[in-house]
Structure formats: structure tokens, C-alpha cells
Structure 1
């Protein structure tokens, strides 16, 4: 099966570089709304049998234009929400953001017991992400395809730990708003990443300073 993992559109907290992981959380900025609409055309070539989103408002709002276009309901799973920031929640300073990301990628680098102060371990977070991904996979079957709208940290941490991306690659390759990662496989046999941020996985990725409306191809 094929899962198309999409980061939500831009939020006010993104503009502040704020660790904002509680649900329901903020909505989208005007640019984020434009990104959500642009995602419809970005994913036009893709088969989509089911559409899932996290319990955060920004993920569900990002999924809504695609749901209307495809005539699908947005199915919600709390396991797909962002990585908990613990005591770092609400912080905007660079050291806090770096520590949050360091812990997220440590889970794929052999330290699943790592956690930010007041936050859950990788064992706990990856288990809930596995549950959310598993629900999406079960909804489409072996030959199906689903879109899963989640969060930058959650997607990068999960594909690093579960889909062959690895911690170093995920740490060095941010996923912009409405950026796409495509994985294939199943929960029983495992997953492999076939596309990351609009490029076949393993291809060099060019740094991007700003996020704009989604426009990258996702067919590989």
C-alpha cells in the first residue's frame, strides 16, 4: 500500500518558530489556507482511497480542500498528532527548538528512551504514531492508497525510525508546510520511503528559505 504523508499548512505559530504541540492548537494563516488549496492540484495524479488527519485543527483544515475535491471524509486519529514538547511547550528560543528536534531524531538513532523535560519517550510517541499509521493503512487494504495529514516533527521522526530514512537524513532535511513524504509497504512487513519533499528518496534536496503554496510532484 501507499501512504502519502503531508505536513499541515502554515500556522501563526510557525511564523514565530513556536513549539506549539497541544490540540486542537492554532488554525492556518492565509498562506496556510492557500497551501491547503494548492495541495489538491499537487496530489491530482495520486490515487487517494482514504484521507486521514491528526486531532489538531491545522491538520484537519489542511485536509479539508482535498476532502471536498475527492468526495472523502476526513478521518481523525489522535495518534497522528505532533510530538509532545513537554516543558518546552510555547518556547520560541533556538536552544529549545534544537533540543526538541535532537530528541526526536535520537529515537531513530538508537535511543528510544530519550525525552524532553516533561515529555514522553520515543517508545510512547512511536507507539501512538504506529497506531495512527496502522489505522490509515487498514482503511485502504494492501493495494490502496491513503493521504495522512500530520506534522513536521511527527512525520520526520516516524520515517526516520520506521521507514528507512534514518536520523541523519531527517535531521538535515526539514519538511516545509504541505511538504510530502511517500512511503510504501504495510505495518506487518515494514515501510520504505520512496519520496521525500518532492524528490525520490535519496536524491539531493535543495535548501528552501521560505514555504510557498505546495507545488511539488509526488509521483515516483
Structure 2
């Protein structure tokens, strides 16, 4: 991914505090010659009691909650001790708004190092041409990147993984 991003004029890197994201940001930082900032906003969502579990029942509950968010708009549902869709939205969207309003980042090319689950839920809220149907069926693979551009009517996805948008 770092080699692919060398041709993109990145100005700033923000990363989730989770170890795997910081490791990725460290590699990107070294290759791209930019420091990175750790922020909680792009952290993967907290699955509460389901964290670290891989048994079929836990995965079934995890999927049921995600489906309830995406299909039924039951935004308040959460795993015990975990985050709801609203919790995730309430930390991510203000961060994106701050980035777009920060004069020092005007015309900047910003790289967010985050997680597939978070992006699957949040990208449809900020990208005008991406919906939950797309993120659910296409998915976001490890080391995929999404290129978006801020336009007068909001962000528009130009590229998602290997898919280019016109």
C-alpha cells in the first residue's frame, strides 16, 4: 500500500490508536516521509463483551447487531459494554468536520489509517456516491485504500480499492 500511495501527494496522516493501525501508519510514515497523529476518531468500534471472541455464537450476535444497524436503522443497539452506531457516528463525524474546517488543512491530502468495520459503517455517511449496500457487498480489504475528494456538495469517492468511480 505504501508503494501505491507514493504517487498521491499526502499532506497529513491520522491513525487509529489500535496497534495494527499504528503499525501501518508507522510504515506509511517512513515510506512517505510524514509524521502521523494518533486520534481516537478512526478507531475500530468497540464490540464490548464480544471483543476477542471467535466462537460461532459471538460472530452471530456481532452480525445480528451490524445487520440491525444497517438494515433496520436500530442505531441504539449495542453489544453489552460496547458501542452503538450512534456512539461510533458521534466520534467519527465531528472529526471529519474538524478536518474539513481546519484552515491549516485546506487543500490538504489527508490519509486516515483505520479499520474496515468503521469504514463500512461511516463511509456511506460522508461519501455522496457510496451507500451501505456498496460497502456491505464490496467490503474493504486489508491495505485497501479509498480516495475521496471534497466537492461543494460533500465528499465523493474517486477510488475504492481497485474500483474507480467516474
Which SS does the other structure have where 1:97 is aligned? helix
Query: Residues 118 and 55 from structure 1, CA distance in 2 versus in 1: closer, same or farther, beyond 3 angstroms?
Result: same
The equivalent residue for 1:5 is: none
- Measured in 2, the distance between the counterparts of 1:47 and 1:168 equals 30
Structure 1: tracts of 5 or more residues without a match: 1-38, 202-219
**1:24-74 CA deviation, whole Å, 9 max, x = no partner?**
xxxxxxxxxxxxxxx221102211010110111211110112212332111
- Aligned runs of 1:166-185 on 2, under 5 Å? 166-185=131-150
TM-fit CA distance, 1:96: 2.7
Confirm or deny that 1:191 pairs with 2:155: yes
Higher relative contact order (CA 8 A, sep 6+): 1
Q: Which moved more, 1:86-95 or 1:188-197?
A: 188-197
- Measured in 2, the distance between the counterparts of 1:55 and 1:101 equals 24
Query: Residues 95 and 161 from structure 1, CA distance in 2 versus in 1: closer, same or farther, beyond 3 angstroms?
Result: farther
Confirm or deny that 1:126 pairs with 2:89: yes
RMSD: 2.5
**1:123-172 CA deviation, whole Å, 9 max, x = no partner?**
11111112333454437634221111001101111113332422222222
The equivalent residue for 1:26 is: none
Structure 1 runs of 4+ aligned residues shifted over 4 Å read none
Which SS does the other structure have where 2:41 is aligned? helix
Q: How many residues were matched structurally?
A: 163
- Aligned runs of 1:141-160 on 2, under 5 Å? 141-160=105-124
- Measured in 2, the distance between the counterparts of 1:117 and 1:197 equals 33
Q: Which moved more, 1:82-91 or 1:138-147?
A: 138-147
Query: Residues 41 and 108 from structure 1, CA distance in 2 versus in 1: closer, same or farther, beyond 3 angstroms?
Result: same
- Give 1 or 2: higher helix fraction: 2
TM-score (structure 2 length as normaliser)? 0.82
- Counterpart contact for 1:53–1:149, Cα < 8 Å: yes
**1:95-138 CA deviation, whole Å, 9 max, x = no partner?**
43354245346445533223223322211111111233345443
The equivalent residue for 1:61 is: 23
Which SS does the other structure have where 1:78 is aligned? coil
Structure 2: tracts of 5 or more residues without a match: none
